Chains A and B, each alone.
Chain A
Amino acid sequence: GAVVSQHPSRVICKSGTSVKIECRSLDFQATTMFWYRQFPKQSLMLMATSNEGSKATYEQGVEKDKFLINHASLTLSTLTVTSAHPEDSSFYICSARDPGTPLPASGDTQYFGPGTRLTVL
């Protein structure tokens, strides 16, 4: 099946610094990627939809200036947490759609990255 990677897998940073997380589709091109955050023992909360070549679509309550998303190529989307604070500590997961099959099937399955554990001190 399709593989999605994330880098780094873990990051610890000081409060006030910015952290960039990369999400790559390794064996397919993804026009759409999604970013989620997950707090301990909770479900995934969709943060934004990342579209290649256009601006990301943010979910209600997610600060776009705080969580910068760039989808500059069909295989890479990045999430930058700017001026990170301890409350931003979380597990960030990306996923990607494989557009290789026609709609609606291409919307059916997302491939998830392994996640990035962010700890802000």
Chain B
Amino acid sequence: SQQGEEDPQALSIQEGENATMNCSYKTSINNLQWYRQNSGRGLVHLILIRSNEREKHSGRLRVTLDTSKKSSSLLITASRAADTASYFCATLGRGSSNTGKLIFGQGTTLQVKP
């Protein structure tokens, strides 16, 4: 079952602008991950944030996690046309550490115009 809700569903920005995507979830988590998917391709792991972390950076990516609100955000700074893709959050439930079972959000489609 899908538990994640992401907003916006679609986002269109100009190159150089920042893009922010949000994800909400319903159950207690071990960690939350963000993935990227180019059209018709597999998923690429971007960044993971654990439940006891509040913020994490990786290059132009910044992820925040608010477990009290059960939400996370992904910020892509200084966007490039090559960032055009769909972005998904995925949660590893607190009871799923042994199975590794991820639950994916609905995704945000990002278009970066050159």
Contacts and interface: CB of A to CB of B under 8 A. Distances in A.
Interface string B71-114: 00000000000000000100010001111111111110100000
Contact of A108 (B92, B104, B106): B92
Contacts of B104: 43-46
Nearest to A41: B109
B42 A110 contact: no
Given A43-B88, A43-B107, A45-B2, A107 B100 contact: yes
Contacts of A106: 100
Contacts of A97: 100
A67 interface: no
Interface stretch (B13-21, B43-51, B53-61, B62-70): B43-51
A59 to B, nearest CB: 8
Contacts of B40: 91, 115, 117
Interface string A91-121: 1010101000001101111111111010000
A42 interface: yes
Contact of A60 (B1, B31, B35, B43): B1
A44 B2 CA distance: 8
A32 interface: yes
A4 B44 CA distance: 11
Contacts, number: 71
B45 A109 contact: yes
B102 A46 contact: yes
Contacts of A43: 2, 4, 88, 104-107
Contacts of B109: 41
B36 to A, nearest CB: 11
Contacts of A59: 1
A112 B97 contact: no
Contacts of B100: 32, 34, 97, 106-108, 110
A107 B41 contact: no
B106 A42 contact: yes
Interface of A: 4, 6, 32, 34, 41-46, 49, 59-60, 91, 93, 95, 97, 103-104, 106-115, 117
The 7 closest A-B pairs by CB, nearest first: A107-B100, A112-B43, A114-B42, A112-B42, A104-B97, A44-B104, A97-B100
